[in-house]
Amino acid sequence: MPLHLYHYTTKESYEKIIQSMMLIPSTQEGKEHTHFGKGIYFGSLDPFFDAQYLGLEELGGNLFTQVSKGNFEKFFYFVEVRFPDDFDPMPQSVLVKDDKKAGFTYENQFLYLLKTEKPLILAKENPAHGQALLFDHGITYWGQLRALRMTDKDIRNEPPAWQRKPRQ
């Protein structure tokens, strides 16, 4: 079964991805860029239902450890990629060894890494060998809230859907 993953990104990077039809790997040294290794990072949590249900802090915690100034803008745009069954190497979930809150090593099944130093070529249909399908792309749930003129402060404070009271 093909693997569907989401690459969360900034508006500027989103526009470059759609224009070039490529995802460029993170290769800069340092925890901020290549925490689990060089390559292209993806999440398995979708930018609409999961985003709204879990809320920004929980989704951000699963994908980036936390929501910070440095990664906040990456929660507004996404690219959904479908990896064919024969794609090699397939993205793998990451092994977290330094989560001080958890205090133990675990596999983060929401965060994936395609270990590569080469760009990933995206196809609009029928990807060739070594390519992945650009399945969907656009603004996330929070991008929609921003488009509705919600402030960044209000977006950060928006409770997850599971905590909201039903409207009367």
Residues 6+ apart with CB under 8 A from 11: 73, 76, 77
- Locate the domains of the chain by residue range: 3-163
CA distances from residue 45 to 42, 54, 130, 157, 166 in whole angstroms, order as listed: 9, 9, 24, 20, 24
Q: What is the pLDDT of residues 149-161, one digit of tens each?
A: 999 999 999 999 8
- Residues 8-63 have pLDDT tens digits of 999 999 999 999 999 999 877 655 556 788 899 999 999 999 999 999 999 988 88
pLDDT at residue 100 in the model? 72
pTM of the model: 0.90
